[in-house]
Chain A
C-alpha cells in the first residue's frame, strides 16, 4: 500500500465547474497536509496547507481533512483553464514530505 494515494486521473471538468481532488494516507503519524500545483515542466507550487480536522478555505480553494478516515481533499470552485495542472497531495511526518503520484486536472473552456 502506498503511503499517500490520490484518485486516479486524469480529471476533466468544464470551465466554471467544481473540481474535486481526493487523497488518502496510511501513516497515522502524519500531522500536516499540503496541496501543491505543478504545471508541466515546472516545480511544485504550494496552494494549501491544512493541519486540523475540518475545512480550510482560501479563495476558490477549499481543503478538507478527516484524520479519522485518513482522508484529505481539495475542492476548486469556478474552475478556470489556468487551473489545468497536476495536483500533488503530500503528508508531513517528521522531516519528510510524502507525496502521492498526482492527479492531472484539465479544465475545458
Chain B
C-alpha cells in the first residue's frame, strides 16, 4: 500500500512569489485535505477536495487555492506569498466523505516545509 507522498520536501520563496505544492493520496483514498502547521501549533485546516470538488474550506484567504485530479492527487497553490505563510504544509488523504456519524481517519504525508524570505 502506497502512503501519502508530497513534493517538494523543502522550498524557499520570496515575498510576492507564487508556489505550487503537490500531493499524491494513499492508494484507495479519494479525499485530500490540506493543512498549514506553524511552528509550535497544531495543523490548521485549509480545504478539502473530494471527487475533484472543494468540499469545505477553512479560514484562509482566496490566494490559497487548490485542485484535485481524476487520479485523486492534488495541488495547493498560494499566490502573493507573505512572510506569515512560512510553515509546514501537510496533505492528508482519507476514504470517502461521510459527513455523518463516522468520519474516516486522515493519514498525513511528510509535508512540505515552506520558507518565505
Contacts and interface: CB of A to CB of B under 8 A. Distances in A.
Interface of A: 4, 31-32, 34, 36, 42-46, 49, 51, 88, 90, 92, 94-102
A82 to B, nearest CB: 19
Nearest to A51: B102
A96 B102 contact: no
Contacts of A31: 100-103
Interface of B: 33, 35, 40-45, 48, 50, 55-56, 58, 88, 90, 92, 97, 99-103, 105-111
| Secondary structure dominating the interface of A | strand
A67 to B, nearest CB: 12
A46 B108 CA distance: 8
Which of A42, A49, A96 has the most chain B CB within a 10 Å cutoff? Answer: A96
A104 to B, nearest CB: 9
